[in-house]
A and B are shown apart, each in its own frame.
Chain A
């Protein structure tokens, strides 16, 4: 079973979406969820707090997109091992490839259910072990 204290950061500019993701994570037993509203804030939180263990990020955001944030994370010595699940509205092939190349740990297309999210998370955790 998942570690309920796993510290997760949800990055999305749409607060409704952050809430949806937060609720789905809660359904899966994760309660330690924090939020950021774009890549800039997300990266700041990751850097300043330092103890996040997982990131769920939207792709399309103002100021800094999810993919830009992901590249910055992978380029950061302290953060580069942080697993990141990319959330997008598209199942476009080139997007998936771009995300994979940038180092995304997983990719989930909106809308998704708790079960889908669970499956994606399990896959990511499995590869980490």
Chain B
């Protein structure tokens, strides 16, 4: 099953390092589009492929070596100015880079990669022979009018799986783009002298055929290869040695403090309890307290990773998508150095990919629309991250047409997601939030690019899972901004402890707006449900006991005004037991409804941390 028995560690190292390298190469390729002659950039890319090739050789990944070798040679010629970069050539290179990534995925699953698609190899070979697919020395972005042709063709190809897009782009890039008549798009492709002449149809067939027919036993493998793509998660982490040293330092100090405490314990057990001994005890415990907090922070710091590692994949994504759609979009990154918990980085990828796609696909307008409204042809999308207090804010902003609340409202009514009455009660921001409803899509048809069965509702769910929030700002005509707010870490949670008879329960402090006393007299029944009026606001009262399915003790004395999403309500309980910063232990295999995890109180009691959203969901059914 595994082609790399005995080499697992080497393979892991290679993948970790080579993936970083490839991500760098990808972002440099984007730079190259702007400055095609930059020697330094060309050099870095050359070295990237060269290095990957060298490592791949030791893993006996011959196909990866072959692909990198060709690409590397191409860059050798480019950096020596023996070749000129053309948009067509760049497409070939991007397709090759995509293929390298797929091969990494294969390696990640312990499988030797198969040969790269022949058209890519052929195109690389042809380009190497100087049969360059460029017309002019100065490369220009793909001519926009040709793009619709490309994108229709792509949609057809997309049925076979999204990765054929890249492949097909190779063909389109290799043949159609450089032709001067591409601007008219309908004329037959005219190929300049010295260029590769490829029968598109034939190539397409052979391209599909290679993986589905020509290679026995390959079709199933290639299908699963594509599906398994996101499966390759890395289980290793890179940590700055300074941070590790800090952890080491602190554990050393904790060891010393422990020794002192052991000594004091012996003294006390031996009957010494004079003021000096007690003072020493107090000091030692305080010191231990401080050291443990520092250690927790230091350990947490080792898990923090710059978000740029995630961000740098997206300019390529945005570019590819924009080209498919015939748009000219630049994704600008900022705040890449902002650090965020490693687990969150992984879980953020899907929502961010979707938001980037959404901005490029739905956010920004087509070239014609932009021209009509007097905007520059190039659309800008800004992806930024920053830390604000104990939260991380990630925002994605486009300069597109924005969203009109009334359009969204009528769409939601049309789709039967809300009623007319409900719609009329919604203000602007609530209307925009309708796009997070399952089943909502602002475009009538799911396009081949942002389809994939993932909608904005999934984005919202994923963000909520990380205890985060997502908000929308939109100005019709000038653009939309999505802002994701996330806690710095998921591992430590400030909670409020509530008591129900003798049992403490924890609720996240972030959801607590205020605490108050609750009396039977203060409550009114409205349509059979208890409510309370707080400063003019009528709020439902839900007892914790009934939410978790306990018999109501009738002793509820305290209430917590909770804010869950857009909903506010009062959670009543028997009493408070204080507040605490707790370390959540998740219940991996056994997870009762409404319980987010468990922790231990300072008295050593087991405390359940409640998932209020889930409890409410249950209660509403």
Contacts and interface: CB of A to CB of B under 8 A. Distances in A.
A-B interaction: yes
A58 B50 CA distance: 11
B53 A15 contact: no
A14 B57 contact: no
B57 A16 contact: no
A14 B55 contact: yes
A60 B47 contact: yes
Given A16-B10, A60-B47, A62-B47, A110 B17 contact: no
Contacts of A16: 10, 13-14, 17-18, 55
A20 B51 contact: no
Contacts of A19: 10, 13
Contacts of B47: 13, 60-62
A111 interface: yes
A97 interface: no
A62 B46 CA distance: 11
A15 B17 contact: yes
Contact of A15 (B13, B44, B60): B13
B617 interface: no
B439 interface: no
Contact of A60 (B13, B50, B55, B58): B50
A75 interface: no
B54 interface: yes
Given A15-B17, A16-B10, A16-B18, A110 B58 contact: yes
A110 B51 contact: no
A17 interface: yes
Contacts of A17: 51, 54-55, 58
B44 A62 contact: yes
B20 to A, nearest CB: 10
Interface string B150-183: 0000000000000000000000000000000000
A16 B21 CA distance: 12
B54 A110 contact: yes
Nearest to A14: B51
A16 B53 CA distance: 12
A89 B58 CA distance: 11
Contacts of A111: 54, 57-58, 60
Interface residues of A, number: 15
Interface in A2-20: 13-17, 19-20
Contacts of B50: 60, 89
A16 B7 CA distance: 12
Size category of the binding interface on chain B = 10 to 19
Nearest to B44: A62
A120 to B, nearest CB: 16
Interface string B11-33: 00110011001000000000000
Interface in B53-95: 53-55, 57-58, 60
A69 B200 CA distance: 49
B42 to A, nearest CB: 13
Contacts of A14: 17, 21, 51, 54-55
A13 B53 CA distance: 13
Contact of A89 (B10, B17, B57, B60): B57
Given A16-B18, A62-B44, A62-B47, A89 B54 contact: yes
Nearest to A23: B10
A13 B10 CA distance: 16
B244 to A, nearest CB: 16
Interface in A33-64: 58, 60-62
Residue of B10, B17, B18, B58 most packed against chain A (CB within 10 A): B58
Contacts of A89: 50, 53-54, 57
A24 B119 CA distance: 38
Interface string B33-53: 000000000001001001101
A60 B10 contact: no
Contacts of A58: 54
Contacts of A23: 10
A11 to B, nearest CB: 13
Contacts of B10: 16, 19-20, 23
Interface string A58-92: 10111000000000000000000000000001000
A15 to B, nearest CB: 6
A20 B58 contact: yes
A13 B18 CA distance: 12
Nearest to A58: B54
Nearest to A21: B58
A79 B50 CA distance: 29
A110 B65 CA distance: 11
Contacts of B53: 89
Contacts of B17: 14-16
Nearest to A113: B58
B242 to A, nearest CB: 18
A60 B57 contact: no
Contacts of B51: 13-14, 17, 60
A84 to B, nearest CB: 18
Contacts of A60: 47, 50-51
B443 to A, nearest CB: 44
Contacts of B14: 16
Nearest to A59: B50
A20 B7 CA distance: 10
A110 to B, nearest CB: 5
Nearest to A109: B57
Contacts of A13: 47, 51
A111 B58 CA distance: 5
Contacts of A15: 13, 17
A22 to B, nearest CB: 11
Contacts of B55: 14, 16-17, 20
A115 to B, nearest CB: 14
Contact of A110 (B13, B21, B57): B57
A17 B58 CA distance: 9
Nearest to B13: A16
Nearest to B55: A16
A39 B522 CA distance: 78
Given A14-B55, A16-B17, 9 more contacts: A14-B54, A15-B17, A16-B13, A17-B51, A61-B47, A89-B50, A89-B53, A111-B57, A111-B60
11 contacts: A14-B54, A14-B55, A15-B13, A16-B55, A17-B51, A17-B55, A20-B10, A60-B47, A62-B44, A89-B57, A110-B57
Considering the complex of A and B, which 9 residue pairs feature the smallest CB-CB distances, nearest first?
Answer: A111-B57, A111-B58, A16-B13, A89-B54, A16-B14, A110-B54, A14-B51, A110-B57, A16-B17
